Structure 1
């Protein structure tokens, strides 16, 4: 028996490779499939099945490309309707992988077609459960993500039944392998680990501790933040199909001279700069949006960038392919090239540049009492803001900055000091503000983590929100 978890950090996503007796199965693959093909070669196995736990909303699955490369059968559970050939498994149906068996457990709740896959070992005994988004470590899948015509309360009721009849009845030793880990927006508050056991979850997971359906429904539907805006786009792509990644790469990885890059800038095009936030702040092509590869790149790209607009790239030389792949993971097939030689080529050509002024928190502390036009803009999530923020700061969640109406209230005479928790999101925010023509701003280095340590800055909480 061979089981490997393949974890994609910037998506908090876990795929699985299972092999036995010359055969293999892949569960919930991401769009770039080379790792699965490499594993198959190393293990000297043939990929027989590709199992999908549900229609993923937070990334584009690699099921179509992997099936085309291997001839493997794509398997979904009951109720799945797709725009491409799949095998629809029945609840309880079993699939052989060498000496192992995968049994389908239909577990609607997160979505209607959601399934878990129970792995039975060579002796037919339960070994592990691949839970998709039905059960996480310390949490369960949110029931409000675009599944049929059911409301979140109805789906939560189905999830309660699935957990109690299909999952809590399994032996305590069974390993839990979920599709996501900490940071994923597919649950409310996932635990720090990427695997667990049924016993541990029954003892510690708030959702499995609930014994009454009404209490469970209230627990899993309360305090749900709005899902990222790209979720319905990705769910639709996974359901209907998509272009082969190789074709996307060939279209996207086109080197553009400075002259051609400038020509494209004259059209309705978005410039995405994926360099490190601090490097971007020191200088960039005017009008660029920065989303650095060092952070939760794919999630922020999906949340902030338009899917119907042409994108051209500025990257650190050598990171062009990585950038295109990570964009494709969340459904972006609209990249048409990158600046050859990167930002250095732009400077060498004598072209104009923009920059973001960064200040330390002590400078902010000195400016607050003396500048009546100073406005602190906190781009963290509302819950982060409520837990502690600079007195009188405006909370403008980065996710909400795609709506120009949210930027319309800033006056030309205001001096904006922008911060997030540590500095990654605030540079994104500054680049978006500048793209909208708002240039009288400064980025506060180190974000709230450093601001709260500055004695000259008053910090307050929103206690009515926290209670």
Structure 2
């Protein structure tokens, strides 16, 4: 028997490969199929089942493409109503994969169709549980992401409590917990960086599992929730009803366009120009109106948070050789309408003599000097509210990148703003959005809050541990 976690840091998402005697099962695959088919080929195994813990909200799963390419059966737990051919299992039903078995445990709460999958080894021993978004390491799934339900988040939290206490916490302490996500995912609020643990440890250390009563649990898991990214319900619908084949999406998105064709396409279909280069290269020169969301950061999550329309035509400016990766990572969160990329990248655009723009940056030291000379200096801290509340420059305004589109009216076009985040990635995203919306007086503070704090020259609020703010 083999168990392999296939972890994708950009989405903090864990898929799983289970193999025994030449048969394999995949749990919660991402949109691309190659990592899973390649893994099975390496073992000479046939993928028999694709198990889905629920209709995911934070990414588009690869179950449909994987089943189409391998002939595997898609399996959901009880109450799921997918809009395509799949097997909806009964609570407690078991599936054989070689000499091991996978038992379906219906664990509603995160969503009503949420199920966990308990792995029984060759001897029938309860060995591992794949919990999806029901139980994380250090946390549990948030109860406010279910689609089309009349249940309140408190109702769902009550179901989650019952699922945890009657289906999962009754299992032996040595069962290994394999969750659907780790730290960085918006599907929980206090996830550990660890991506597996024993159930016994979670019973001892997971704040949600230590709640003294159902009422206390409901209060714990519903307190401190921030609104989910706007793309979450749209991805959940795609996972429930179906979506375009990934090969077609990649073929369309990887059409190479000359600078002239690129500009014509941008004007003809009102396409969004998405520049996925790193922040430093983008700041030195970019196509006017381009938005920068660099591949080196949590690219897919920020795309989903900041681009409202999943059907928005997108044109890519990418480092050479990274075009297909960018198209795939867009598709992971449901952005299937990439219509091509700029061949030769920004260098080709610049060499063609076309219009370019830049964003000036200053060091944290220079910024500290300017701020101390003028404490009323207009500054935008674009970190999340929890980061800002934890510690910030005294008197500085918080404009979280997550909600920049909704809060743009708060920004005075006549002022020159100095913008920072934690380390530089998000501030460049924010600056590019503001530039595209016609704001011109903008300066980036290189290195972000980390560099600002290191100067030791600015008044900061007293530090508050972020976990106490939940």
What TM-score range do you get, normalising by the shorter chain? over 0.9
Task: Give the match's secondary structure for 1:238.
Answer: helix
Q: CA deviation at 1:351?
A: 1.2
Distance, in Å, in 1 between the alignment partners of 2:65 and 2:316 is 25
Q: Measure, in 2, the Cα distance between the counterparts of 1:454 and 1:44.
A: 57
Per-residue Cα deviation, 1:418-451 (whole angstroms, up to 9, x for no partner): 0000000000000001001101011101100111
Answering whether residue 335 of structure 2 is matched by residue 335 of structure 1, we say no
1:286 aligns with 2:282: no
Aligned position for 1:388: 391
Q: Give the counterpart of 1:362 among 357, 361, 365.
A: 365
Q: Which runs of 5+ in 2 are unaligned?
A: none
Q: Provide the aligned length of Structure 1 versus Structure 2.
A: 465
Unaligned runs of 5+ in 1: none
Taking the TM superposition and a 5 Å limit, the aligned residue runs for 1:24-423 are 24-147=24-147, 148-267=149-268, 268-305=270-307, 306-371=309-374, 374-403=377-406, 406-423=407-424
Contact 2:372 2:458 in 1 (8 A): no
Q: How far apart, in 1, do the equivalents of 2:11 and 2:375 lie?
A: 42
Structure-2 separation of matches of 1:393 and 1:370: 15
Please tell me whether the aligned partners of residues 386 and 461 of structure 1 are also in contact (alpha carbons under 8 angstroms): no
Q: In the aligned structure 1, how far is the partner of 2:229 from the partner of 2:463?
A: 24
1:144-168 deviations in Å (ceiling 9; x for gaps): 1024221110000011111111111
Judged with a 3 Å threshold, the aligned counterparts in structure 2 of structure 1 residues 372 and 96 are, in CA distance, closer, same or farther, namely closer
8 A contact 1:422–1:446 mirrored in 2 = yes
Tell me if the contact between 1:120 and 1:127 (Cα under 8 Å) persists in the aligned partners: yes
- Deviation larger for 409-418 or 320-329: 409-418
Instruction: Supply the distance in 2 between the matched residues of 1:323 and 1:242 (Cα, whole angstroms).
Output: 19
2:424–2:448 contact (8 Å) kept in structure 1? yes
Q: Distance in 2 between matches of 1:31 and 1:66?
A: 9
- State the alpha-carbon separation in 2 of the partners of residues 308 and 23 from structure 1: 38
2:112–2:146 Cα contact (<8 Å) kept = no
TM-score, normalised via structure 2 length: 0.97
Q: Distance in 2 between matches of 1:181 and 1:422?
A: 21
User: Could you report, residue by residue, the CA deviation over 1:237-266 in whole angstroms, capped at 9, with x for unpaired residues?
Assistant: 000000000011111111010111111232
Taking the aligned partners of 2:184 and 2:245, their CA distance within structure 1 comes to 28
Q: What TM-score, normalized to structure 1?
A: 0.97
Q: Deviations over 1:354-377 (max 9, x none)?
A: 111111111112222445873110
Task: Determine if contact 2:4/2:18 at 8 Å carries over to the other structure.
Answer: yes
Q: Shift of the alpha carbon at 1:308?
A: 2.8
Matched residue SS, 2:129: strand
Runs of 4+ in 1 over 3 A off after TM superposition: 369-373
Q: Contact 1:373 / 1:413 at 8 angstroms: preserved in 2? A: no
CA distance in 1, matches of 2:9, 2:87: 30
- Give distance in 2, aligned partners of 1:185 and 1:408: 26
Task: Describe the superposition over 1:247-302 as per-residue Cα deviations: whole angstroms up to 9, x where unpaired.
Answer: 11111111010111111232411000000111111110111000000000010011
RMSD: 1.5
